[in-house]
Amino acid sequence: MNQRSALHSPRRVFATLAATLAMTALGALAALPSAAHADALDDIAKSGTVRIGVFEDYPPFGSIGPDMKPVGYDIDMANLIGKTLNAKVELVPVTGDNRMAFLADRKADMLLSVGQTPEREKVIDFSQPYAPYYLAVFGPKTLQVKSAADLAGKSISVARGTLEDLSVTKIAPPSANIKRFDDPNGAISAFLSGQVQLMVVGNDVGATILARHPANDPEQKFALFSSPDHVGLNKNEPRLKAKVDETIAKARKDGTLNAISQKWLRAPLPADL
């Protein structure tokens, strides 16, 4: 299970050496004059193909389906972008270690599932957010929990020392019983086995649990820390960025993004995304 914050996943933390090399490469590329390479949108139009970097081991955003084809939120998003660009979509499998280098080397025209940080803003550009990523409290539908105050007297499982742990500890009333486990799987197992009433995980993990364990009748109660997904692009590509933003704006307005969120995350698109 690929938990971003809890397991130092590709989305949240780069491996130290790989991150250094990738960011250095991106920085060098960003410093080059714009004339050093052709306009990316023109290149896509000429080739008829847009190359989009996606994770294939990160459900529900990207994984391999029963027919051995990639499926997930990001796959649907990639197809939307391809439709706007009138281009065939070539999905480029990436990892947390190599994806920034793939973008810098132009092995991919853009990346999906990129969290926006000040460090990354120095070397790449970001689209408008297209998918929610946040930590949330999950529990059975029969348990009334709508806010931090409702955690009073409740037992809650988290992985020790993670962002989940820090976030719920910050807002929980003194009477909340926060049970900390050595890893995320332990925290999830405690909830599924009834050892605790609630758990705190990312909405991606929560969606997977909701899909795989309907007998437990879990639901999302309320959100905590939020850091939405963006499309990551090379700098100095304003025309391509504008097209991607156009895709996101249209999909948000006509309900397509909400439908994708309901399909893969089992929750509506947040109003403030």
pLDDT at 199: 96
Task: Tell me if the domain spanning 134-226 has CATH number 3.40.50.10710.
Answer: no
137 vs 268: CA distance, rounded Å: 16
- CATH annotation of 16-132+228-265: 3.40.190.10
User: What confidence tens digit (pLDDT) does each residue in 177-233 have?
Assistant: 999 998 888 999 999 999 999 999 998 888 888 888 877 778 999 999 888 999 999
pLDDT at 38: 67
Q: For the chain, which ranges sit under pLDDT 50? A: 1-22, 24-26, 28-36
Within the chain, which residue ranges are assigned CATH 3.40.190.10? Answer: 16-132+228-265, 134-226
22 vs 13: CA distance, rounded Å: 13
Contacting residues for 12 by C-beta, under 8 A, at least 6 apart: 4, 5, 115
| pTM exceeds 0.85 | no
pLDDT at 162: 84
- Its sign, for the CA torsion 183, 185, 187, 190, is negative
pLDDT at 190: 95
156 vs 180: CA distance, rounded Å: 8
